[in-house]
Amino acid sequence: MHHGLAPRPGEDAITLGAQAQGGAQTQAQAQVQVQATAGAIWPQAADGAGEDATPGLVTWKTCAQRPTGSLSALRRGSLTFVGTGIRLVSQMTPEAMACIRRATKLFYLVVDGATETWLRRLNKTAESLADCYAQGKPRQESYVQMVGRILPCVRAGEEVCVAFYGHPGVFVWPSHEAMRIARREGFPAKMLPAISAEDCLFADLGIDPARDGCQSFEVTDFLLRRRRFDTSCSLILWQIGVIGELSVRLTAPYNSRALGVLANLLRRHYPAHHEVVIYEAARYPIGEPSILRVPLSKLGTVTPRAMATLYVPPRRSVRPVSARMLGRLGMATGARRDSRSRQRGA
């Protein structure tokens, strides 16, 4: 999706990441990758669904140049996406770990050097996708390049595993796109579920989406498309640290005015004193999550980090039950009986 809000056929979303390739990294490199690996816009269903969103795929010599008589050329390729979770190593599922070990080709895009080193130890074929990013480069271009790096290996007969941080299908356009194309070409392709930032938020903030319901939006998409939302329901806004950033920007500050624009919009729906949470899940097993509570009136003064997510609690916790709907669902008698037994203290 672009600023113009009219996705080209098959063009869908923007998710970004950056990371220095290689094992050891400096603190500055680690900082760059954390800042750049946030950011996505997930637009509406593309008009031209079914068409490739990957024109001009970059071919990648690792797999594309394998001799046709080689073992991998005789195998049927496959593609699996896995997530590394948010917290270092500890949130990786056993099935994801097994897939990473088993793969004959591993790609990854993660946000910290420790996870990178660990993945490289688990699988010697590990290759970072972070060099698809560059300062000022439109993110969508980077995503298309990632897809173009992954697919030739599948076609060359490799058992390809791609590891993304968090959940591999949450705010990760290249995974969905590569899977769609691989399946269309007849290759087995799947995604394993993993722990996302939202899962951590539910745990750390003690929120059960069953209570009031939960709405979850990418924040730039939320603003640009004037998404409708229900103030009696939890509201989660992703990527508040990179509002309006469609190109990779490796250094802060990001669009500092943008959070004020968001705050003004929210102020039309919630009182000034309504407390919102700027949340960042702990990335290391010994760390604590960052939970910054601010009244809406102060939200515009905060500078969130690239990895922050905004949680807006419901304005009213309980929405009244519709008697008409109770009747239509055939629940009216049961509801009366339940309320009588509650009055009796049963």
Ligand X SMILES: C[S@@+](CC[C@H](N)C(=O)[O-])C[C@H]1O[C@@H](n2cnc3c(N)ncnc32)[C@H](O)[C@@H]1O
Residue pair 240/265 in contact (Cβ under 8 Å)? The answer is no
Q: Is 165 part of the annotated catalytic residue set?
A: yes
The secondary structure of 265-330 as a DSSP string is HHHTTS-TT-EEEEEE--SSTT---EEEEEEGGGGGG----TT-EEEE--SSS-PPPPHHHHHHTT
**Amino acid letter for position 248:** V
**Count of residues in the chain:** 346
Burial of 26 (0-12, 13-18, 19+ CB in 10 A): exposed
Among 7, 148, 166, 300, binds ligand X (CB under 6 A): 166
Give the separation between CA 50 and CA 183, rounded to whole angstroms.
Answer: 12
Q: Which residue has the tokens 């509406």?
A: 44
Q: Which of 105, 167, 176, 249 binds ligand X (CB under 6 A)?
A: 167
Active site residue 270: no
Q: How far apart are CA 26 and CA 42, in angstroms?
A: 32
Neighbours of 170 (CB within 10 A): 21
Asked if 172 is part of the footprint of ligand X (rule: CB under 6 A), the reply reads yes
Only one of the segments 48-56, 144-152, 209-217, 234-242 lies at the binding site for ligand X (rule: CB under 6 A); that segment is 234-242
CB closer to ligand X out of 105 and 167: 167
- Give strand ranges (E) for 20-138: 40-41, 78-83, 105-109, 127-128
Q: Which is nearer to ligand X, 137 or 155 (CB)?
A: 137
Give the interface segment with ligand X, choosing from 42-50, 70-78, 259-267, 303-311 (CB under 6 A): 303-311
276 touches ligand X (CB under 6 A): no
Sign of the torsion angle spanned by Cα atoms 271, 276, 226, 198: negative
The binder of ligand X chosen from 196, 215, 220, 234 (CB under 6 A):
196
Query: Which position among 280, 296, 311, 314 is part of the footprint of ligand X (CB under 6 A)?
Result: 280
Kindly identify the residues of this chain, within the stretch 235-254, that bind ligand X according to CB under 6 A.
Answer: 238-239, 241
What is the pairing mode between strands 309-312 and 275-280?
Answer: antiparallel
Which of 66, 108, 149, 165 is catalytic? The answer is 165
Q: Which one of the spans 113-121, 126-134, 233-241, 244-252 is the region binding ligand X (CB under 6 A)?
A: 233-241
Query: Does position 175 bind ligand X by CB under 6 A?
Result: no
Range 252-271, binding ligand X (CB under 6 A):
none
Q: Which residues, numbered 20-49, are part of the site for ligand X (CB under 6 A)?
A: 38-40
Among 25, 123, 215, 309, binds ligand X (CB under 6 A): 309
Active site residues: 139, 143, 165
Chain contacts with ligand X (rule: CB under 6 A): 15, 38-40, 86, 164, 166-167, 170-172, 196-197, 238-239, 241, 279-281, 283, 307-309
